[in-house]
């Protein structure tokens, strides 16, 4: 083996391949042919995986020479992969423009986590009822859940917006206060959507829980009934704890999607402290000249051009991705295992 490796170093891959082909230890021609067929398949598979990884990572790799370059040297055709002088001015500008003292990011993370808890709790109850309880019209309700998932969000926007703009519950607000309540641009609107099952991707979460509870053995519920457990105790003591794989999957997906949401937050609470909304507002193309001027003034970089706008924007996006990357690296193994056991499979 060591001799083969030495010849591969001196004569290249062709010499190594010829050496293996003429290897007298492999006397059976059929075995030799299968050996090299398997070798070619492995080489092709490795090349395909490396190529796909590079294709996926290329946009991110391309960002680092831009965000770590001196803002006054951006756009230099001589600088492609390695900056002539490293600088973190782009990150400083992004923090100053969007994140401040990072209170905005902390509030965004708190919002995403709280919405994820609500969606898990409500979706699990709805999925349990649809999956385990025989109720009149249950099939129709499930069809409506699927339709809610399939129908584009934009088609429901006008009706939802008007409902929250003139919020009333069975006419009670009008009866006692003389008018409706305007809930637009208030945080309670986003929580009401999740509590009522219309949160971001919540119909899909209900479907996932339903698929899990359908496969739950009936013997568990029968044993709980014999032990004296009622409906609610059976759910909270037996069904819900056994749904840990689906709970983790839904919680992670809900957190990630709500953290990066600009649709519901942008329409129902546009002035809220959400990083994704502030990124879309701050780095609109109409703000490019303003941001370039700010960079020139703050960091004494009079030669900064419009490329500085792109560098600061990409730096802000990279900072935005840091919490998601931390979550992913912490739960990637359990997430993959739980996805196999959740309602997304089968």
Residues 185 and 72 occupy one common structural domain? no
Rounded Cα distance between 59 and 20, Å, is 39
- Is the CB of residue 145 less than 8 Å from the CB of residue 207? yes
- Report pLDDT for 2: 47
**Rounded mean pLDDT of the chain?**
81
Confidence (pLDDT) at 21: 56
- Same domain? For 18 and 52 the reply is yes
Same domain, 111 and 216: yes
Alpha-helical (H) ranges within 178-304 are 188-195, 202-214, 218-226, 231-234, 240-242, 244-259, 264-268, 275-282, 288-298
Clarify whether residues 112 and 91 are in a common domain: no
222 and 156 part of one domain: yes
Q: Tell me if 340 is assigned to some domain.
A: no
Contact 98, 278 (CB under 8 A): yes
How many domains, in total, are found in the chain?
Answer: 3
Closest by Cα among 259, 132, 118, 112 to 197: 118
Q: What is the pLDDT of residue 4?
A: 47
Looking at the chain, the number of H-run helices and the number of E-run strands are: 17, 0
- Weakest-pLDDT range from 244-253, 271-280, 321-330, 336-345: 336-345
pLDDT at 197 over 50: yes
170, 39: one domain: no
Residues 94 and 109 in one domain: no
Summarize the confidence of residues 209-236 as an average pLDDT. 85
- DSSP, res 167: B
- Do residues 45 and 115 share a domain? no
The verdict on 53 and 87 lying in the same domain is: no
At residue 50, the 3 state secondary structure works out as: helix
Find the domain containing 28 and state its range: 2-58
CA pair distance 268, 162, nearest whole angstrom: 11
DSSP 97: I
Q: Please tell me whether residues 89 and 212 are part of one structural domain.
A: no
Last residue of a domain, one of 252, 273, 294: 273
Residues 237 and 89 in one domain: no
Judgement on whether residues 128 and 17 belong to the same structural domain of the protein: no
Assigned domain for 343 exists: no
Higher-confidence residue: 22 or 122? 122
pTM, 2 dp: 0.77
What is the sign, positive or negative, of the torsion defined by CA atoms of 196, 201, 203, 208? negative
């Amino acid at each position: 083996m060591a001799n083969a490796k030495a010849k591969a170093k001196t004569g290249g891959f062709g010499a190594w391949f010829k050496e293996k082909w003429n290897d007298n230890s492999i006397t059976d021609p059929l075995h030799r042919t299968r050996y090299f067929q398997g070798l070619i398949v492995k080489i092709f598979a490795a090349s395909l995986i490396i190529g796909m990884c590079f294709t996926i990572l290329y946009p991110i790799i391309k960002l680092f020479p831009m965000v770590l370059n001196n803002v006054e040297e951006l756009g230099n055709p001589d600088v492609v992969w390695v900056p002539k002088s490293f600088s973190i001015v782009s990150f400083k500008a992004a923090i100053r423009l969007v994140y401040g003292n990072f209170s905005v990011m902390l509030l965004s993370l708190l919002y995403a986590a709280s919405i994820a808890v609500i969606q898990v709790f409500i979706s699990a109850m709805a999925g349990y009822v649809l999956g385990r309880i025989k109720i009149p019209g249950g099939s129709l309700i499930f069809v409506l859940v699927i339709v809610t998932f399939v129908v584009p969000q934009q088609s429901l926007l006008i009706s939802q917006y008007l409902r929250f703009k003139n919020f009333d519950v069975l006419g009670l607000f009008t009866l006692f206060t003389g008018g409706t309540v305007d809930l637009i641009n208030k945080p309670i609107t986003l929580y009401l959507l999740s509590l009522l099952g219309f949160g971001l991707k919540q119909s899909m979460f209900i479907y996932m829980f339903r698929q899990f509870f359908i496969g739950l053995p009936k013997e568990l519920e029968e044993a709980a009934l014999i032990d004296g457990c009622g409906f609610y105790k059976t759910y909270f003591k037996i069904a819900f704890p056994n749904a840990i794989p689906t709970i983790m999957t839904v919680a992670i997906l809900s957190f990630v999607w709500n953290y990066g949401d600009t649709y519901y937050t942008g329409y129902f609470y546009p002035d809220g402290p959400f990083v994704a909304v502030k990124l879309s507002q701050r780095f609109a193309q109409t703000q490019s000249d303003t941001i370039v001027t700010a960079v020139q003034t703050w960091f004494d970089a009079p030669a900064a051009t419009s490329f500085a706008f792109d560098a600061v924007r990409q730096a802000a996006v990279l900072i935005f991705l840091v919490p998601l990357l931390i979550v992913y690296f912490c739960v990637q193994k359990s997430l993959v295992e739980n996805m196999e056991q959740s309602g997304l499979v089968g």
